[in-house]
């Protein structure tokens, strides 16, 4: 599904990601962990196209997307959320959702004047779909509130919902559990599993090992920009190198 081949990224003299390779199979939920500064979010940004790698290749369903602009990747089925959620704060939840729908006729300037009825029909269909997703995420009663009123966890859910509007085949989640209260965390985990059941692949950055263990079948561990280890969650927590990297004992 997603393949990262020997990708490196340098910012000036600092190599933030060095020679990282990973593969995520169709229908999997894979985890990406590592201490702060390990390069996880940078790797996400490379996969999502926020910037291009210094070297290496990124393939989505066999097609090289290494240098494709960020705004084209969702059309290919790759969606992402952000570590610090980026809702459109002054827009209502339903509008946040509608903005995410792909291939909208109404986004072309002249269609709004020349074919208003088709735009209206499309908009109604998208609104229905958006409400269904909001319902699924437990946000439906807030649909007409501006997104700025949401709590941190609700923002994570809204971002997930926005991505769902685009019918992605793989979703990159950046720390879905960070700053989320335990009750809402269960909702998020639950919804991710449910979405995955519909055949959508996930790659998840997360620090909360409990969450990783509950969700992920396979875990990649990054440390100082390199791939330190990969395996099942149970192997990861027992691996001395990983324990070292997280606890920073540094010896041996």
Residue 133 C-beta: closest distance to another protein, Å: 14
Contact with another protein (CB under 8 A): which of 79, 161, 176, 225? 79
Q: Residue 98 in contact with residue 105, Cβ under 8 Å?
A: no
Nearest Cα neighbor of 7 from 59, 49, 71, 57 is 57
- Give the x/- contact pattern for another protein in 81-120, rule: CB under 8 A: -x---xxxxxxx-xx--xxx-x-xxxxxx--xx--x--xx
Rank residues 72 and 238 by Cβ distance to another protein and give the closer one.
72
- Give the x/- contact pattern for another protein in 141-160, rule: CB under 8 A: --------------------
Q: 92: buried, middle or exposed (CB in 10 Å: 19+, 13-18, 0-12)?
A: middle
Residue 144 C-beta: closest distance to another protein, Å: 8
HSE-up (13 A, CA, CB side) for residue 240: 3
How far apart (Å, rounded) are the C-alpha atoms in residues 50 and 107? 23
Tell me the site size for another protein, rule CB under 8 A.
42
Strand ranges across the sheet with 78-80: 78-80, 170-174, 201-205, 29-33, 218-223, 226-231
Residue 94 C-beta: closest distance to another protein, Å: 7
How far apart (Å, rounded) are the C-alpha atoms in residues 160 and 81? 7
Residue 150 C-beta: closest distance to another protein, Å: 14
Residue 93 C-beta: closest distance to another protein, Å: 11
Rank residues 70 and 243 by Cβ distance to another protein and give the closer one.
70
Q: 15: buried, middle or exposed (CB in 10 Å: 19+, 13-18, 0-12)?
A: middle
What residue ranges bind another protein (CB under 8 A)? 48, 50, 69-75, 79-80, 82, 86-92, 94-95, 98-100, 102, 104-109, 112-113, 116, 119-120, 123-124, 127, 162-163, 166
């Amino acid at each position: 599904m997603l393949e990262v081949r020997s990708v490196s990224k340098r910012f000036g003299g600092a190599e933030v990601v060095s020679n990282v390779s990973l593969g995520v199979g169709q229908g999997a939920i894979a985890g990406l962990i590592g201490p702060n500064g390990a390069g996880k979010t940078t790797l996400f940004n490379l996969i999502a196209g926020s910037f291009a790698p210094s070297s290496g290749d990124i393939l989505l369903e066999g097609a090289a997307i290494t240098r494709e602009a960020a705004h084209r990747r969702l059309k290919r089925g790759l969606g992402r959320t952000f570590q610090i959620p980026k809702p459109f704060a002054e827009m209502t939840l339903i509008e946040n959702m509608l903005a995410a729908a792909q291939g909208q006729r109404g986004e072309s300037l002249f269609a709004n004047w020349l074919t208003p009825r088709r735009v209206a029909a499309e908009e109604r269909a998208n609104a229905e779909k958006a409400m269904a997703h909001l319902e699924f995420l437990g946000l439906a009663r807030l649909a007409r509130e501006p997104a700025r009123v949401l709590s941190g966890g609700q923002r994570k859910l809204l971002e997930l919902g926005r991505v769902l509007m685009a019918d992605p085949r793989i979703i990159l989640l950046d720390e879905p559990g960070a700053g989320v209260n335990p009750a809402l965390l269960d909702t998020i985990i639950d919804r991710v599993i449910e979405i995955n059941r519909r055949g959508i692949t996930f790659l998840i950055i997360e620090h909360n090992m409990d969450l990783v263990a509950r969700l992920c079948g396979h875990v990649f561990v990054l440390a100082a920009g390199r791939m330190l280890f990969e395996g099942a969650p149970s192997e990861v927590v027992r691996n001395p190198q990983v324990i070292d990297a997280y606890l920073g004992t540094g010896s041996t």
